[in-house]
Structure 1
C-alpha cells in the first residue's frame, strides 16, 4: 500500500510540474532571443507563420504573443511623412510601387519626401508636428504600407464633405 501512495504522489507531482511548464509564458528576454518582440506580438500573427511554411516557429510565437482582443488600441497620429530616395527605388520596388500608385492619395495627412541616399522610413507626427515614431519600411510591400497607414493615421475628412453633411436636407 505504501508504494501505491508514493506512485500517486509522484504522478500528481509530475502532472502539476508539466501543467506549470505548459502554462508558463516566455519572458521578454526569452522572446527577444527567439526574434519576437513580446510587447507588440499579436497571436493572430503567429497563425500567419504557417502561410510562409514556418510551422516550427508557431509554438514559440504563441508563448510570446498577446491575444488580439486584449491588445492595447493602436496609437493614432495626426500626420505621417514617408521619406524615400528615388535613386534607391530599384532596391525597394514595393516602396516605389506604393509611391507611384494612387494609394498615397487615400491619405491626405501623408507627405512624401524625397531625400537623397535614405532608405525608406515613415515618420509619425502628433498634432503639434513633433515626430513621435520612426519606422523603417525597407522590407515592406505595398499592402503593408497601406495597412500601417490605415492603422496609425487619424482619418481626415475633406472640408467639402463636412460642409455637404451639414447641409443635408
Structure 2
C-alpha cells in the first residue's frame, strides 16, 4: 500500500512537471515564457526560491531549443525626458542615429514614465509591454534588430511623438528636453 501511494505521488508530480502553462498564465506568475530558459529555473535553489521552481519549469524553454524569435510589426519606445538623467543609456540610444535604422519604431515622450517598449502586431494592437530600465544602449538596439519585422529596410522614417498623453502643454517637453 505504501509503495502504491509513493508511485501515485510520483506520477502526479511528473504529470505536473510536464504540464505547460500559457504565456498569460506565466505572466501572471511573474515569468516571461518566451525569454525564460530552463537552466535559470535550476538556479532558483541557490537563492532559496525552490518553492517557485515547479511553476518556473512549466513556463521555461529548454536550453537546447532556441527560444521562439517572435517578430512584431511595430514598436513604440515610451519615455519621459525628465528621466533621461536616471536612464542615460536610453537617452544615448534615442539621441544617436540608431533609431533611424528601424522605420517601424516610434518614440513617444510620456510625462513621468520610466522607459518601456510596446510591441504591436500588424493591426496596431499592443501584444507585449517590456520595461527597459536596466537595458544598455546596445541591448536596446539588438532587441529591435531581433524582434522588429524587417520590411521597409533602408527607410529611415521612425517617428517621434512629442506629447503622447494628449496634453496641450508643449512647453513642458521643450524645456525638459536635454
Shorter-chain TM-score tier: 0.5 to 0.7
On the 8 A contact 1:80/1:153 being kept in 2, the answer is: yes
SS at match of 2:84: helix
Structure 2 unmatched ranges of 5 or more: 156-178
Q: What residue in structure 1 maps to residue 154 of structure 2?
A: 158
Q: How many residues align?
A: 146
TM, length-normalised to structure 2: 0.56
Q: Give the equivalent residue in structure 2 for 1:13.
A: 5
Corresponding position: 1:92 with 2:87:
yes
Q: Which has the higher helix share?
A: 1
Residue 140 of structure 2 aligns to a residue whose secondary structure is helix
- What stretches of structure 1 of length at least 5 have no aligned partner? 1-8, 160-169
The corresponding residue for 1:36 is 30
Query: In 1, Cα distance between the equivalents of 2:84 and 2:76?
Result: 17
**Residue correspondence of structure 1 range 60-99 to structure 2 within 5 A:** 60=54, 61-67=56-62, 69=65, 74=70, 76-99=71-94
Please give the TM-score of this superposition, normalised by the length of structure 1. Answer: 0.58
CA distance in 1, matches of 2:35, 2:140: 18
More off after superposition, 112-121 vs 149-158: 112-121
Tell which structure's C-alpha radius of gyration is larger.
1
Structure 1 position 154, deviation (Å): 0.3
Q: Which residue of 2 aligns with 1:141?
A: 135
Q: Name the counterpart of 1:165.
A: none
Secondary structure in 1 aligned to 2:134?
Answer: coil
Equivalents in 2 of 1:134, 1:14: separation in Å?
42
Distance change (3 Å), C-alpha of 1:100 and 1:51: farther
